[in-house]
A = this chain, B = another copy of it.
């Protein structure tokens, strides 16, 4: 099998001005196609050094994928460097040049001679069409056992050209004999280690493989199968996924691109119910998560950011006596906030968060990381749950896990209602 190598070209990468997300994207895509790659290189906009890197790459890989250096400025040297490395002249493609002229005239500009150089490719190279920008790439086999694909550095153009042109080309030309397909299961409220020990025997599987990941308090399991087609890979994944879901039950909140906010939103929509929120320490973050989902106005009524005690009293009807005796960060206050916001906004569900995100605000009995989440149910029940997050993780970590825990709390309440007694 051919192995691939990624070469990212751009002095801005060497200066650390941008993060090399293109390398990660291509790495993931190559993994999905089952194409191995063992090396990635970053090099600046310098002909000699690009030549050095090409000399190394074409000795150890059969597919070379470059990003960057296809723009119209004198710094953009990729095409020129590749052609001169293989002692091949550049040839103008009039169709590229007229497309560039059209693109420019559409936005009322005139292309310069600099732009014209984008219409040149090494003799024998095919155009790797760019449907979303002016810089095309190339598909070129300078000799039988070497394929070169070049892409612009603009991520959006790279992604589009990869999906529209490169993937079909690789599949139709014998570079792909199997595909990798993954299903990611998403968990909240269970530590990675606890999840891992529940499903440990699955880590021995070879196809599909099962591997745990975690970040920001969210544990994930990735089930990955290798097969001739995506459909066959999905067939390998399905029974393992079903077994894992049976073992891990309610802790799993979704899969793949789901978020806690999208899952909660879908559930509310399916129930024709509405939600209102009252946020103290999260200060609007839960609202931001919910409203980042298009169409959330169908179920999200809004909320109150009750950062001050006065706001809790005036807008949510929290009892001043409760604030005085139990404090703003207490189960009783969380319950009154949840109920108050549901009433104020005429919503079916009320969700509240009050806590100490730090670094200040802790007392002798209430440490940084202490958070209460209150929930008002459509049938009038009000609950509150206490959380103690690790204070050393810092203010914004505590705010984020608090927001996620609040959405998780609501999600689990739906599940409990639905579970037959």
Least Cβ–Cβ distance between A388 and chain B, in angstroms: 18
Q: Determine whether A49 belongs to the interface, using a CB cutoff of 8 Å to chain B.
A: yes
Contact of A305 among B42, B60, B302 (CB under 8 A): B302
Are B41 and A40 in contact, with the CB atoms below 8 A? yes
Are A279 and B284 in contact, with the CB atoms below 8 A? yes
Contact of A307 among B282, B286, B300 (CB under 8 A): B300
Q: How far is the CA of A399 from the CA of B292 in the complex (A)?
A: 8
Q: Determine whether A200 belongs to the interface, using a CB cutoff of 8 Å to chain B.
A: no
Are A283 and B308 in contact, with the CB atoms below 8 A? no
Are B399 and A291 in contact, with the CB atoms below 8 A? yes
Copies in the complex: 2
User: What does the 1/0 interface line of A372-410 toward B look like (CB < 8 Å)?
Assistant: 000000000000000000000001100100000000000
Contact of A15 among B28, B303, B305, B396 (CB under 8 A): B28
The stretch among A31-39, A87-95, A263-271, A413-421 that forms the contact with chain B is: A31-39
User: What does the 1/0 interface line of A259-287 toward B look like (CB < 8 Å)?
Assistant: 00000000000000000010101111111
Chain B residues in 8 Å Cβ range of A296: 283, 307
Given contacts A14-B37, A287-B305, A308-B345, A358 and B42 within 8 Å (CB-CB):
no
Q: How far is the CA of A28 from the CA of B302 in the complex (A)?
A: 42
Contact of A304 among B43, B290, B304 (CB under 8 A): B304
Are B291 and A288 in contact, with the CB atoms below 8 A? no
User: What does the 1/0 interface line of A291-335 toward B look like (CB < 8 Å)?
Assistant: 110111100111111111011001100000000000000000000
Are A20 and B24 in contact, with the CB atoms below 8 A? yes
CB within 8 Å of B: which residues of A? 13-21, 23-31, 37-44, 46, 49, 52-53, 56, 60, 213, 277, 279, 281-288, 290-292, 294-297, 300-308, 310-311, 314-315, 344-346, 357-361, 395-396, 399
What 5 pairs across the A-B complex have the smallest Cβ distances? A284-B287, A283-B291, A284-B284, A16-B27, A16-B28
